[in-house]
Amino acid sequence: MKATMNSKQHCQHKQTYKRRTSFIEVLMITSVFLLIWQALSRLYSPLILPGPVLTMQSILKILQSDNFFNELFLTLQRLVLGLFAAIVIGSIMGILMGCNQFCKRLFEPLVYLVQATPPILYITMAMLWFGLNGRATIFIVFIGSAPVMAVHIKEGFENIDGKLIEMGKAFAFPKSKMLKVIMLPSLKAYFKTGLITVFGFGWKLVVMGEVLSASTGLGAQITDAKMNLETNMVFAWGSIVVLLCFLSQKNTDWLFACKRRRRRNYE
């Protein structure tokens, strides 16, 4: 009984230690940032640096316009398609590299090569291969994110606790059990960080791809705004993209944290 109490207290202590940044702190940081922005925007013309108020107005204008959700939907579609392929194929590559030495020797240089190539090269090639429609963007998202995922999963395999594996062997776990009970749960943390990194990459790549190679989507709107010298619109679209990227990363974090272990009762 005493031990139960202690453990509960321990948990509470942990929770207070790991508490989230409070609302007031967020407010303070944001207001300081906005103040500096406002001050700087006074020094330059809106063409160079639009102030926060103007940007806010532009964002509202965008949100009210009809085509916003169409553009957002197009971008999301590209992002989801590219990321889905990247996560699936990247994970499979990672698992193969982790499980099999031959696969590792075969794929590892390839994965690092793909990762080392600058995305701008892929964009150039993709524009030639797929033309100036959305498909080039999907390809860029995929080729930019898949190796990141693969490397994360491979790292996860390399960091599985060898002592646990040895324990499994000592108790004659069959391979499937070893994978299910020891290996895959060990990979979870790596999968999560991989996912968060890939989401960040995905958003950047999808917008970049659209800016350079598409006439639709959020990125294309930025290009349009730039063409028309509407810096405030560039800022507004940019803010929207940043916010969406932030939210998707934060949500992944939340998704994993949400599944907190609940204590079972075996009586």
Can you give the binding site for other proteins, defined by CB under 8 A? 1, 3-4, 7, 10, 163-164, 166-167, 169-172, 181-182, 185, 261, 263-266
Alpha-carbon span 122 to 136, nearest angstrom = 9
Query: In this structure, what token pair is assigned to residue 33?
Result: 């940032």
Q: How far apart are CA 199 and CA 197, in angstroms?
A: 5
The least distance separating other proteins from the CB of residue 249, rounded to whole angstroms, comes to 24
Judged by beta carbon, residue 42 or residue 264, the one nearer other proteins is 264
Nearest approach in angstroms of CB 18 to other proteins is 15
Give the nearer residue to other proteins in terms of CB position, either 61 or 169: 169
**In terms of CB distance, is 43 or 172 closer to other proteins?**
172
Q: How far is the CB of 177 from other proteins (least distance, A)?
A: 8
Q: How far apart are CA 127 and CA 135, in angstroms?
A: 9
Nearer to other proteins, 10 or 105 (CB): 10
Residues 6+ apart with CB under 8 A from 230: 58
Which residues, 6 or more positions from 137, have their beta carbon under 8 angstroms from its beta carbon?
78, 82, 126, 205, 206, 209, 210, 213, 214, 217, 219
How far apart CA 74 and CA 170 sit, in angstroms, is: 53
Nearest approach, Cβ of 182 to other proteins (angstroms)?
Answer: 7
Nearest distance from C-beta of residue 153 to other proteins, angstroms? 18
Q: 25 or 166, CB closer to other proteins?
A: 166
113: left (phi over 0), alpha (psi -120 to 50) or beta: alpha
Please say which residue, 118 or 162, places its beta carbon nearer to other proteins. Answer: 162
Q: Taking the CA of residue 37 as centre, how many other CA atoms within 13 Å lie in the half-sphere pointing to its CB?
A: 16
User: Which residue bears the tokens 């509960």?
Assistant: 8
C-beta of 23 vs 266, nearer to other proteins: 266
Report the C-alpha gap between 202 and 79 in whole angstroms: 6
Minimum separation from the CB atom of position 4 to other proteins (A) = 7
Burial tier of 205 (Cβ tally within 10 Å: 0-12, 13-18, 19+)? buried
Q: Closest separation between CB of residue 171 and other proteins, Å?
A: 4
